[in-house]
Chain A
């Protein structure tokens, strides 16, 4: 069977999503640069949180020797992935350090000093993965610390678990790589198409997916050809390779699904809700390595590009390598460098400084010069031109979202479906008034989230308070009832002379005590021969102590 016999884009009907942009792609800067291994860094900084979800729990201690591929962070909770030593060396610190995150806050990291030997620990390849149970496969993938390498970095094993009752119709492999400048997936497919296909087959097995569709933008003909050839080599006609028109953000999961299947992921839902699962091509290659070679996710391909670096390149980088090391290996930065971005120009985050480490999701280091920013005139009022709505791939009304976010009308902004915004940046790119629209949406989203958290907290506090009040009322009522009962009892027994009665009681008590002492044969103590008055004081003090103790334990229960 030849590659020509494979189903191609002509065989499949394609849909299109609303909006989107044709962007100058700047991929030529780096797309001819073959993947080269980055040099081994002296020091690796490994944030325990590399992805959405809970951070990994460190299972090494400072001073421990670690081998390449050794697990150093255990997944903690369900949405979490393991972390491994990218090279052999010594754990020199576990502490909070700056990490690449938009918050700019520090986060716990494991710091490893490499010994230069890059010695592998034990690896456990599974050649016979086809005989493994999907749950075993998922476990291997979880243990290998694999997260989505395309962007958000969701732990992959979760996305490979459709649940018992859900049938997966289509596994989509996202090879769109729609953001300008980035070419790491392009290079991966050109050079390691077999790994991608192998990973796709493992994923398909894990999901029991009916079919696999690889969606690739038509601006990567060489990668498309390489994948086609790889498919021809293993004679798999059940994996469909589809070229899709180049248009940002086709690589968005929801957009690619729409283009390839015509279906839409329900709002607030997941692709699995429509029997589709979507993984990035680089994730597929990582799955192949984890399963068939036993190598956990400790490297990734990073495109270092932009006019701000002397020599753009594609480097295979150990996770935890400082960005500065990579810039040095690309001939350093140029004097015109103005902004360092992790990720693409439309959705990437700025890097606060060059010492930050590359994480599992860091697909691109973009060194931008002022000439690459495009038009950046003064920020003006919105003229309601509607250009934003025309390009919005979610068919939102960005302009309305902007007005309401600006007015801090957080109910209205949700009425206009703020949470369907994927923050692709198209609206901001085209806005003639230069309004930072996406920033407004992020502000609104985070404010709504924090308000929701506060509200939840306040509700809990209110519930507690209400409960406390209720308890206090109840106790008060109980006490009053007790008192009334006692009073009634006292009134019923007409003790003629209370003084007389008291004296008699004291006398009786003293006699009892005497009898007890005599029975035990104890020597008299200084509590012997007390006057009636002293005895009463003691008894009162004892009673006070008892009630205090009772109150204390009641307080503790609160």
Chain B
């Protein structure tokens, strides 16, 4: 009897890519539930469309590339991309918007680079930015949170709107949508209103936008769970949120009437989602702990810069993509000192 020679180690730990991805999916569930409650059925429709488009386009490209389809789909990465994109999109969006973003993320931002592990940019954010740049009108018409909208749509009505763009005769789109807190803050500051004046609007809650602050809280909850399960480490989220809070505080202290405070920034828009779920994407982010700190700090600062002086209300997606570009360089300059070597 001769056995094949197998290289050690002969045992393996419990981790595999699929269960890492699945845990990220679980961690998104509280935020998804919250969004459903806050923004209505549109969230669910977005998710279904995005997931279907992502899986279908991934399968198609894999088949074209003659790669194993089912095994690869089971790694769960396309699912995560679709979920992240779906909850970043306006909850009342036409189906094609969601499908185009999702398919672009998978085909162009991921598979054309060689599939999972080879993509330099976070696919979900690449898809998001494509949509933001190409379809600004659709992308900025956000569903108003529960309590702020004068009408509600049922699941069938949302589906109908998503598919054909038609609303029930007695409901106008204005009754369903409203500007986001970040958007309002930006526009109104531009019109020389003070932060305090702007914040007296009913769309603001205690910290950030009405309802939005709760969603960010739920995202934070999922993120903490990921930390606890050791799917992610503290470096990226702490660096993103810490630097964002720090720079916001600095400007707020200098001119409180012109710059919103740190809590507003943390509780608004995609700050939490970016910090815990997107900047922690291992493929497109920095690898070493020190590199992750640099990556996160850069991202937090960019979010503030884009929100404050840029052309878009939120800056998370752009900040992520810009830092993705810098990640290889960051990794190169943050290599750990190898055992037995002297630094330098």
Contacts and interface: CB of A to CB of B under 8 A. Distances in A.
Contact of A350 (B1, B6, B335): B6
Nearest to A349: B8
Interface residues of A, number: 69
Contact of B3 (A353, A372, A382, A386): A353
B193 to A, nearest CB: 45
Nearest to A424: B9
Nearest to B286: A386
Contact of B340 (A266, A353, A389): A266
Contacts of B8: 341, 343, 345-349, 423, 425, 438
Contact of B5 (A104, A265, A395): A104
B332 to A, nearest CB: 10
Interface of B: 1-20, 71-72, 75, 77, 114-118, 233, 282-283, 285, 287-289, 335-341
B287 A384 contact: yes
B339 A17 contact: yes
B5 A375 contact: no
A385 B338 contact: no
A43 B336 CA distance: 52
A347 B6 CA distance: 11
A436 B117 CA distance: 16
Nearest to B4: A350
Q: 3 shortest A-B CB distances, which residue pairs?
A: A425-B9, A381-B117, A267-B340
Contacts of B10: 339, 341, 345-346, 348, 350, 366, 368, 373
A394 B338 contact: yes
Contact of A428 (B9, B18, B20, B336): B9
A434 interface: yes
Contacts of B72: 380
Given A383-B20, A385-B20, A395-B338, 10 more contacts: A254-B339, A341-B8, A345-B11, A348-B8, A350-B6, A381-B115, A397-B336, A425-B9, A429-B11, A432-B20
A352 B339 contact: no
A420 interface: yes
A399 to B, nearest CB: 7
Given A269-B340, A385-B20, A373 B12 contact: yes
B14 A381 contact: no
Interface string A394-406: 1111010000000
Contacts of A104: 5
Interface string A283-306: 000000000000000000000000
A524 interface: no
Contacts of B4: 350
B3 A352 contact: yes
B340 A432 contact: no
Contacts of A366: 10
Given A339-B3, A381-B117, A385-B282, A420 B12 contact: no
Contact of B339 (A180, A348, A394): A394
A345 B14 CA distance: 15
A433 to B, nearest CB: 6
Contact of B11 (A264, A343, A373, A382): A373
